[in-house]
Amino acid sequence: MGYYGRRRYRSWRSRGWGHSPPSKYSILTGLFGSAVSQIRHAFENLEEDALDELFSDYGAIHGESAERYARKTYPKWKSRSTKLSGQTMERLVELVPPYLSAEQRFSILQSLLKQYKKSGSFRTVKINVKEPALGFAELKDALVQMRHEDVLAHLPESVMKAATWLYDDDITVARSMLADAERLENNMVRAKAEKEIDLLKRTISTGQVQAANYSVEMPAGKLHVVAFTPSKCFVATACFGSEAVETNALRRWRDSYLTERQWGREFIVWYYVNGDRLVSTLSNSPCVLGVVKSLLRIATWVLRKNEVWGSKK
């Protein structure tokens, strides 16, 4: 027996639509995305009485010949031996939802939310592994700021329109279900993020980490965490000394520019893992060391002359 009881499905006719079809969605997959395949799957698995009622709706809206064709072709659609046309699929997108359970429609809502969810902002937190307390405090603040409690604020009108369509044009129910779906996803994302961040903090606190680059999804965007050892600049130190002007310029470039970019964070981690080996190789090849030193001197001159990288995103 169907979700609404035998012969009690909320068909278009039973709700006073008569022979007038619901409004059309002209760009089907563009609007609904994976929800289209969910609706098709639900259509192919409707119970017999629900399917009969749906075909009656189909005929009342699109004509008896269309109904006869649909009833006859349904087994082939279900077996995928006959392809559903775009027009037929569009009609099903309009007709099937009233026959779905609350759980099925909620699942479609979640798919719609994922499709239309904005990427959100991103924030980078830098942690000095030698003195991590300040970085940990900034990380805690970032987690609070990226909780995104206003669960419907970012949703475009098209998602709300789709939600009201799923819920019989009842905007109150639609907003409530959208909020529930969004809040559920936010809670899951936030819980996972906080667990992963806690593990990262404990790992850094052991003192065994030289550098780490980590990104985690939050409800309001993406949070990047880069852990680094500020005193190390292997190659520059080998070329100029630990407190040389060139070495300090490269450190500032690392801390203000590289840590703000994904490729830069990846490079920092790679550099700290392989820095000692690079210095060893250069030390055994004076000619190569000389070339590297010349190139770095030019690079640091440019950096010092144009020290504005920190403002570029």
Confidence of residue 311 (pLDDT cuts 50, 70, 90): very low
Q: How many other C-beta atoms can be found within 10 angstroms of the C-beta atom of residue 5? A: 9
**Domain extents for the chain?**
13-100, 231-313
Query: Helix 171-205 crosses helix 157-166 at what angle (to 10 degrees)?
Result: 120
Mean pLDDT of the chain: 76
8 Å CB contact between 240 and 290: no
The pLDDT of residue 68 is 95
Confidence of residue 299 (pLDDT cuts 50, 70, 90): confident
Mean pLDDT throughout 109-124? 71
Mean pLDDT throughout 99-110? 81
Query: Which residue matches tokens 């009842």?
Result: 170
The pLDDT of residue 96 is 87
Mean pLDDT throughout 202-225? 78
Residues 6+ apart with CB under 8 A from 72: none
The pLDDT of residue 302 is 82
Write the pLDDT tens digit of every residue in 144-185. 777 665 556 556 676 676 677 677 667 777 777 777 777 787
Mean pLDDT throughout 14-31? 49
The pLDDT of residue 243 is 78
Q: What is the dihedral of CA 172, 174, 179, 184, to 10 degrees?
A: 140
CA–CA distance, 266 with 226 (Å, rounded to integer) = 9
Is pLDDT larger for residue 20 or for residue 60? 60
The pLDDT of residue 310 is 46
Write the pLDDT tens digit of every residue in 229-283. 765 567 787 788 877 888 888 878 877 777 777 788 778 777 777 777 777 887 7
pTM over 0.75: no
Task: Let me know if 174 is exposed, middle or buried by CB neighbors in 10 A (0-12, 13-18, 19+).
Answer: buried
